[in-house]
Amino acid sequence: MTDIVLLKGDGIGPEIVDSVCEILNAAGADLVYHTYDIGQTSFEKTGKLIPDETLEAIKKYKVALKGPVTTPIGKGFRSVNVYLRLTFDLYVNLRPVYSFKNISTYPNVDIVMVRENTEDLYIGEEYEIENGFEAKKRITLSATDRIIRYAFEYAVRNNRKKVTCVHKANILKKTDGLFLARFKEIANEFPQIEAEDKIIDNMCMQLVMYPQKYDVVVAPNLYGDILSDLIAGLVGGLGLVAGANLGKEVAIFEAVHGSAPDIAGKGIANPIALLQAAVMMLEHIGKIDVANKIKTAIIRTLKDGKCLTQDLNGTATTKELTNAIIRNL
Ligand SMILES: NC(=O)c1ccc[n+]([C@@H]2O[C@H](COP(=O)([O-])OP(=O)(O)OC[C@H]3O[C@@H](n4cnc5c(N)ncnc54)[C@H](O)[C@@H]3O)[C@@H](O)[C@H]2O)c1
């Protein structure tokens, strides 16, 4: 039995978390779930977006599976996700994306996005100026070195061939200039891995035209955030792709998508992205066999194509897709 923290979150969060737990239990994952509040739902209940008990539980159990949380756009409170990343120094945002037969527009995509998770424009420092506002972008040597080193070490560990660094160093000569310079320097420590760099705008076009050319991609926070969704779109959309927020002590696993308020409560959300996050979590805690069993069931269910949710052009409900995955375990 392994203890994990379960955070249901907002919008479609509770629906997909329940579905994923049903599949984990059916697969024999042998987990003890410690459920805590987070997000807007928590705020309405307790007056806090992240109650102290939730933070204590994450600190104690070190591994959490998290549903999406709502963050108001252009007003209101700061992102709960950003707060968690900074509090637990979850400096890596790891998002593996691969093609699914009969689902993905592009076959043979197999990209791992490694996004810096603690700085860049996400430090949230915005100031009023005479005729509008300006925002601060922070790129430090220490945060840059550890994310770039992580990307190369991940490549070596997972038998990958190439790491591509994404930047805008032609315009942002100091901040992105530092990121690129450190990439080139650290690449020398890993002669067995091919290293290349691309300017962010070109990288967007490259990914849409030749996604199969890319392997591990490393980027500062904002470009990494945007590219993750672009790459998810190459293989079937946000309903399929997951991410891990990793620090030295704590790891939080979640879907790439948000709380999808437009479909919340309708029972039609796709649980696969969060299930992929659960697979990453199982790998992280060493339950490789159960992780592989669930991964195979996902691939089988999608290939079969008989039971797909609306985001994948099907008509199935969350419950029907959950049952189909369980049958394929
Ligand atoms: N990690 C997180 O918690 C996270 C990530 C991104 C956005 N958000 C927050 O989520 C809220 C909504 O953001 P948004 O609308 O821009 O993005 P979103 O990802 O919630 O939704 C975008 C579109 O994709 C669809 N979609 C997303 N997940 C789906 C799923 N599992 N199954 C089927 N369809 C799905 C939605 O219905 C919507 O049409 C915002 O408050 C945003 O800040 C949270």
| CATH number of the domain within which 44 lies | 3.40.718.10
Residues 91 and 118 in one domain: no
Provide the pLDDT for residue 75: 59
The total of structural domains in the chain comes to 2
Residues 164 and 192 in one domain: yes
CA 212 vs CA 97, 241, 263, 285: distances in Å? 11, 17, 32, 30
Provide the pLDDT for residue 74: 59
157: number of Cβ within 10 Å: 8
Confidence of residue 132 (pLDDT cuts 50, 70, 90): very high
Which residue among 207, 235, 263 closes a domain? 235
Nearest ligand 1 atom to the CA of 274 is: 31
C-alpha 69 – ligand 1 centre gap (Å): 9
159 torsion bin: left (phi>0), alpha (psi -120 to 50), beta (else): left
**Measured from the CB, is residue 42 less than 6 Å from ligand 1?**
no
**Measured from the CB, is residue 239 less than 6 Å from ligand 1?**
yes
**Measured from the CB, is residue 258 less than 6 Å from ligand 1?**
yes
State which residues form the domain around 86.
Answer: 1-98+236-329
Mean pLDDT of 72-76: 62
Residues 94 and 126 in one domain: no
Confidence of residue 219 (pLDDT cuts 50, 70, 90): very high
**Measured from the CB, is residue 27 less than 6 Å from ligand 1?**
no
Q: Which two tokens stand for residue 81?
A: 């996700």
**Measured from the CB, is residue 278 less than 6 Å from ligand 1?**
no
**Measured from the CB, is residue 19 less than 6 Å from ligand 1?**
no
Query: In sequence order, which residues have a C-beta less than 8 Å from that of residue 75 and are 6 or more positions away?
Result: none
Residues 79 and 18 in one domain: yes
Which residue among 216, 235, 254 closes a domain? 235
326: number of Cβ within 10 Å: 17
Residues 93 and 112 in one domain: no
**Measured from the CB, is residue 262 less than 6 Å from ligand 1?**
yes
Provide the pLDDT for residue 46: 87
Mean pLDDT of 46-75: 90
- Distance (Å, whole) CA 101 – CA 304: 9
> pTM of the full predicted structure?
0.94
Q: Which two tokens stand for residue 7?
A: 């955070």
Which residue among 189, 219, 235 closes a domain? 235
- Distance (Å, whole) CA 195 – CA 152: 9
Residues 287 and 228 in one domain: no
Residues 131 and 218 in one domain: yes
Question: Atom 1 in ligand 1: which residue has the minimum CA distance?
Answer: 68
- Average pLDDT of the chain is 95
**Measured from the CB, is residue 76 less than 6 Å from ligand 1?**
no
Mean pLDDT of 214-232: 96
Q: Residue 22 in 3-state DSSP?
A: helix
C-alpha 234 – ligand 1 centre gap (Å): 17
pLDDT tens digits, one per residue of 237-269:
889 999 999 999 999 999 989 999 999 999 999
DSSP letter, residue 109: -
Query: In sequence order, which residues have a C-beta less than 8 Å from that of residue 92 and are 6 or more positions away?
Result: 114, 115, 116, 117, 147, 150, 244, 245, 246, 247
Nearest ligand 1 atom to the CA of 68 is: 3
